[in-house]
Copies of this chain bind each other. A is one copy, B any other.
Amino acid sequence: MEAQSVPTTGVIPADALLKHWQGHRRLTRRMIEAFPEDQLFSYSIGGMRSFGALAQEMLGMAVPMVEGVVTGEWNPYAGAKAMTRDELLKGWDESTERLNSLWPQIPPERFQEHIVAFGEYPGLLYDLFLYVIDNEVHHRGQGYVYLRALGIEPPPFYERD
């Protein structure tokens, strides 16, 4: 922690932010399942990364970010290791449980604290969490194009249950 901003009244509760994120994560999980196994780590457009590689990045950011916040201990950012689709889904589900258990350990007043995530990304807690969520939404949007280009109908964006 470098400094602390003046606390201001918040309008989104901490548990609602986690619920929002887990809704996105359920949709991203459906995207991983929607990819044919042989395309998940190979298909690409315009030289971009495969959706499998993007999902590994998401895994490498989610739990490590929240764990770093809770414990104050950070490792340099690293994407999850190469895996099969089943291993990716297993890692995804383990992250889901881990996020659910870590999140309530963050006191609400800490969300406006300024930290340096992974030892190199400075920001307020809520901005860092929003960044991780947005990064997932951003890359998942990329995955929607991959699926459409493969002739596969992606799961609906608004469906988060």
Set of chain B residues within 8 Å of A124, measured between Cβ atoms = 16
Bound-state CA distance A15–B112 (Å) is 13
Nearest CB of B to A48, in Å = 5
A75 close to chain B: CB less than 8 A: no
On whether A130 and B13 interact (CB within 8 A), knowing A46-B145, A137-B141, A148-B46, the answer reads: no
**Within residues 117 to 161 of chain A, which ones have a CB less than 8 A from any CB in chain B?**
124, 126-127, 130-131, 134-135, 137-142, 144-151, 157-158
A139 with B138: CB separation less than 8 A? no
A14 close to chain B: CB less than 8 A: yes
Set of chain B residues within 8 Å of A104, measured between Cβ atoms = none
Set of chain B residues within 8 Å of A3, measured between Cβ atoms = none
Set of chain B residues within 8 Å of A46, measured between Cβ atoms = 145, 147-151
Q: A9-B10, A131-B158 are in contact. List 19 more A-B contacts (CB 8 A).
A: A9-B14, A9-B108, A10-B13, A11-B14, A13-B112, A16-B126, A20-B130, A46-B148, A46-B149, A46-B150, A48-B144, A48-B148, A134-B137, A135-B157, A137-B137, A137-B138, A141-B141, A141-B142, A141-B144
14 contacts between A and B (CB under 8 A): A9-B14, A9-B108, A12-B126, A12-B130, A20-B127, A20-B130, A45-B45, A46-B148, A48-B144, A48-B148, A134-B137, A138-B141, A138-B144, A142-B144
